[in-house]
Structure 1
Amino acid sequence: MEETGNIRLEVNISPDKLEARVTLIVPDEGRGGPILITEQDVRDALRAKNVTHGILDSVISELVGNPAKFANVPVTVACGTPPVPGIDGKIEYPFLTLLHDDKRPKELDDGRVDYYSITNIPNVAKGQLLAAKTPPTPGTPGTAVTGEPIAPKAGREVMIKPGKNVVMNQERTLLYAAIDGQVSFTENDKVNVFPVFEVNGDVDFRVGNIDFVGTVVIRGNVPTGFRIKASGDIRVLGSVEGAELEAGGSIEIRSGIVAQDKGHVVAGCNVKTSYIQNANVTAGNQVLVSQSIMFSQVRAGKQIICNGAKGFIIGGVLQAGEKIAARVIGNASATPTVLEVGVKPELRQELSTITKELQNVYENLRKTDQGLGVLSQLLQVAGELPPEKRTMQIKLTNTRLVLEKEVKKLEARKKEIEQELEGDVPAAVEVYNLMYPGIKLVFGKLVRFIKQEFSRTRFIVLEGEITTSTLI
């Protein structure tokens, strides 16, 4: 702070150190007279606060030339150079282009169309590149007005997650298929290649239940009572009734599900279908429906999206970690419909459990190292250990190896969960056309009953309340 005649120069630096402001503080008794200030006065005041970078000479000249204009008004006289954040790492999946191959159904000789013959199966060959990782960039440092470097936010690291029948290069930046088969994403975005089992028609008693370590393709329908289990994906080109479908990867049902409250459809990744009626559906990631969800129990780790030409949800209970969206929700009869969205409780619970387990393992590791340290001191003093102490040393050494392996496993899983939770977005319910009364919205512990119609509305939680905003 500098005194100059009848005024005082005050310099303030912003918390992020990217801006310095000068205020000419003029006392009441000095406002009637001339304000005398020189460029040197301003520069001395800046120097006293160590402001050396990004000084705006033109602003200082204007300040000195017409000080009365700036009396008691803060003016920016120096701007730092903001850091440039790093670019997040990314993973590209070249095989996904196979999903966009020609999906037109086969035309038979008599002119009819065979919809069950659509061969939209992304097969890959042994040795084919499946994933390529681009590492994150560290970013570019900035410079504070005081000349200090400002560290940038580094880009976020990403990891290729290998599953079954795949191999990685030594740098763990490229992933290749180890066998011929179909690519499938399973839990935590692991990439797998599975062999394919096909049924050329409906599942019936000649086919029976299916339990296959790979991907299953049904080129017909799956009637009530049958069970299909696959470690990869399940693709049904017809419809599914009250059957049991369980896939480690995704489930795609070309027609839809009419289950009559029987059976279930469970996928580790996504469930994609045209409609869901009186069914029980669970997906680790997304449930994607083009037409309707009616009177069903539907759960998704992230999103439930029903946004086709009709895209309506009526009745039942829908639960999603991040978002539920549809064109129309409810009906004019106010049919009770429950929509629940919010954080991923199972992930947060797992993170809490892993943190406690790590604390226990760290403590056991500390005790093991303590024991090994004592034995090492005995060895240095005596030159050798008695048999019982030698046996103890071997046991402790083996215990340490087991504990180290457990620590690596727990820390890796903890990092995965933290990265997934870091990307959490505020939970939302979105209706693109119309929401009718009779809907119960649940955001964690918050509940709101819809008693009027809403159109083109997003529901989110702000300041502890379920609030609305208009969708553009």
Structure 2
Amino acid sequence: MDDTGIKREPVIRISNDRMEAFIMLPTVEEEYHYTVDEVLEAVNRNGVIYGINCETISDMVEKRLMGREVLFAKGKPAVDGADGYFDFYFDSDLNHRPTVKSDGSVDYWSVHSVEVVKKGQTIANYCEPVAGEDGIDVLGRVIAAKKGKGLPPLVGRGFDKSVDGLTYTAAIDGKIERHKNRIIILPILEINGDVDVGTGNIDFVGDVVIHGSVKTGARIRAAKSITIDGVCEGCVLEAGNDLILRNGMIGMGKARIIVKGNLFAKFMEYTDVEVDGFVEADSAINCNVVSNDKVIFNGGHASIVGGKVYGCAGIEVQNLGNDAFIKTEVHVGVHKKIKIKIAELEKLVDQKQMLLNNINAGIKQIEQMMGSAADGMNLEEKKLALVRAKIEKTAELTEDKEELERLKGIVERSTGATVQVLEHVYPNVEVCINNSKLVTKEEFDKIEFKEKDKAVVMLSMK
């Protein structure tokens, strides 16, 4: 208060985040006035020391801006740093299933299970972290910025790293795979033309990609996946992973397909097929197909005509049989071969476990004798022979147990398996579910075959 009783103390308000400060000059009579020093003293008493705009304060005093708040100080916000990151220059999100087009047909060219890179190709760049910049509020307090964090370098094999550690390039031609910060480039066999008897059989430890066709009599074996762009004719194909036939197989009764992964095919004719995974195709004509998962024929007018098709986990097909009433057999559920194999393996596992127990008992007995026997050398040799036998039988037993678990998994997948016909099922189609069988005598639309009370029944899906 001055002598006249009029309050002349400037009012300072600081925002909750302390990043802005406002000043309000109380209204006074015309003969009274504020000075810049007087206002700055009030500012100082309120602790505002950073970001002060003296020009704004001078302007308020000179123009007598009273009775309203004016922003006069601003803090500097912290600028958070950015974490380091990798830019990858290859597709690591592969499409492992074909896409269905708007017309209902299936595009097998959309299946992309192998990403190939060339030697010297840049596969990744590392963008280093940004440190960030601390801020400060109007009271002069430091606002710590979030510091950018770095990433560990990529690990794996098949690539080189630049001296500065920022650029990664492929060291070989091959298939590239990424799992988090691990990159592996593996050899791949890529053939731009056709494969025939003249080319010779192919037996490769990695993935095989053939951009042409595979002719009659050729044999291709790959430890990983096989992708064939052209038509296959009367050949033998063995894949340790997936098999992709973008233009199908004309088997001519000579073709055989063995797949440890999944099978994708445009069509199959007169071909024997064994697949550990699922099967997706447009059609199968007079084929013998065994899948330890599901069999799906759902593109456009996809069909199974003639032959025998077994899908452990079920079969889904647009059309089953044809109007010529060709005998067509489909089976789902537990295949009798699997039941026989499980029984054989269970017996074998018991026998090997008993033998292993006897070996362990023999080793223990020899160890007890070695302390008191005079002929220690002879006992040591016997013990060594038993230890070798133990290692060998343990490995065999582990392998048999793993195979037994795999087969039991197939049995588990077969529970509740059905045959779904999304369009037409024709006469002379034999449907088997586990040990039950039904033969169609007439044509039906949209039918699901299920097992009920140890018999196959038909249920409408309309």
Equivalent residue pairs, number: 312
The equivalent residue for 2:420 is 430
Is 1:203 aligned to 2:195, yes or no?
yes
The equivalent residue for 1:74 is none
Is 1:357 aligned to 2:348, yes or no?
yes
Q: Distance in 2 between matches of 1:459 and 1:350?
A: 27
Partner SS for 1:259: strand
Partner SS for 2:195: coil
Partner SS for 1:353: helix
The equivalent residue for 2:455 is 465
The equivalent residue for 1:145 is none
Q: Tell me by how many angstroms 1:201 deviates.
A: 2.9
- Mapped contact 2:275–2:291 kept (Cα < 8 A): yes
The equivalent residue for 1:242 is 234
The equivalent residue for 1:99 is 95
Query: CA 1:428 to 1:96, structure 2 compared with 1: closer, same or farther past 3 Å?
Result: farther
Q: Distance in 2 between matches of 1:350 and 1:101?
A: 31
The equivalent residue for 1:318 is 309
The equivalent residue for 2:334 is 343
The equivalent residue for 2:276 is 284
Query: CA 1:465 to 1:365, structure 2 compared with 1: closer, same or farther past 3 Å?
Result: same
Is 1:366 aligned to 2:371, yes or no?
no
- Mapped contact 1:263–1:279 kept (Cα < 8 A): yes
- Mapped contact 1:211–1:230 kept (Cα < 8 A): yes
Is 1:439 aligned to 2:429, yes or no?
yes
Q: Distance in 2 between matches of 1:205 and 1:298?
A: 26
Is 1:182 aligned to 2:175, yes or no?
yes
Aligned with 1:303 (options 294, 299, 310): 294
Q: Distance in 2 between matches of 1:305 and 1:347?
A: 21
Query: CA 1:247 to 1:183, structure 2 compared with 1: closer, same or farther past 3 Å?
Result: farther
> Alpha-carbon deviations, 1:241-277, whole Å to 9, x = none?
2222222222211122223333333322222112223
Query: CA 1:426 to 1:404, structure 2 compared with 1: closer, same or farther past 3 Å?
Result: same
The equivalent residue for 1:8 is none
Structure 1-normalised TM-score? Answer: 0.57
Partner SS for 1:97: coil
Give the residue type in structure 1 aligned to 2:207. T
1:331-410 equivalences under 5 Å are 331-379=322-370, 382=372, 386-410=376-400
Q: Distance in 2 between matches of 1:447 and 1:284?
A: 24
The equivalent residue for 2:114 is 122
Unaligned runs of 5+ in 2: 1-89, 100-106, 124-156, 159-170, 178-183
Q: Distance in 2 between matches of 1:117 and 1:448?
A: 37
The equivalent residue for 1:421 is 411
Partner SS for 1:364: helix
Structure ID, larger Rg: 2
The equivalent residue for 2:218 is 226
Q: Tell me by how many angstroms 1:451 deviates.
A: 0.6
- Mapped contact 2:219–2:237 kept (Cα < 8 A): yes
> Alpha-carbon deviations, 1:275-327, whole Å to 9, x = none?
2233333322222113x222333232222211111112222222222322211
The equivalent residue for 1:11 is none
- Mapped contact 1:99–1:122 kept (Cα < 8 A): no
Aligned with 1:251 (options 243, 249, 252): 243
Query: CA 1:179 to 1:401, structure 2 compared with 1: closer, same or farther past 3 Å?
Result: farther
Partner SS for 1:456: strand
Q: Distance in 2 between matches of 1:422 and 1:101?
A: 24
Q: Distance in 1 between matches of 2:111 and 2:328?
A: 37
Query: CA 1:356 to 1:275, structure 2 compared with 1: closer, same or farther past 3 Å?
Result: same
Query: CA 1:179 to 1:98, structure 2 compared with 1: closer, same or farther past 3 Å?
Result: farther
Structure 2-normalised TM-score? Answer: 0.58
Partner SS for 1:262: strand
- Mapped contact 2:191–2:210 kept (Cα < 8 A): yes
Q: Distance in 2 between matches of 1:199 and 1:118?
A: 20
Query: CA 1:298 to 1:393, structure 2 compared with 1: closer, same or farther past 3 Å?
Result: closer
Q: Distance in 2 between matches of 1:117 and 1:319?
A: 26
1:447-462 equivalences under 5 Å are 447-462=437-452
Query: CA 1:386 to 1:409, structure 2 compared with 1: closer, same or farther past 3 Å?
Result: same
Give the residue type in structure 2 aligned to 1:325. E
Q: Distance in 1 between matches of 2:407 and 2:375?
A: 45
Give the residue type in structure 1 aligned to 2:227. R
Query: CA 1:470 to 1:410, structure 2 compared with 1: closer, same or farther past 3 Å?
Result: same
Q: Tell me by how many angstroms 1:235 deviates.
A: 1.1
Give the residue type in structure 2 aligned to 1:249. N
Partner SS for 1:455: strand
Q: Tell me by how many angstroms 1:345 deviates.
A: 3.8
Query: CA 1:96 to 1:414, structure 2 compared with 1: closer, same or farther past 3 Å?
Result: farther
- Mapped contact 1:378–1:385 kept (Cα < 8 A): no
The equivalent residue for 1:293 is 284
Give the residue type in structure 2 aligned to 1:256. G
- Mapped contact 1:181–1:194 kept (Cα < 8 A): yes
Q: Distance in 2 between matches of 1:457 and 1:204?
A: 43
Unaligned runs of 5+ in 1: 1-93, 104-114, 129-164, 167-177, 185-191
- Mapped contact 1:116–1:220 kept (Cα < 8 A): no
Q: Distance in 2 between matches of 1:394 and 1:406?
A: 19
The equivalent residue for 1:213 is 205
Query: CA 1:367 to 1:229, structure 2 compared with 1: closer, same or farther past 3 Å?
Result: closer
Query: CA 1:213 to 1:459, structure 2 compared with 1: closer, same or farther past 3 Å?
Result: same
Q: Tell me by how many angstroms 1:199 deviates.
A: 1.7
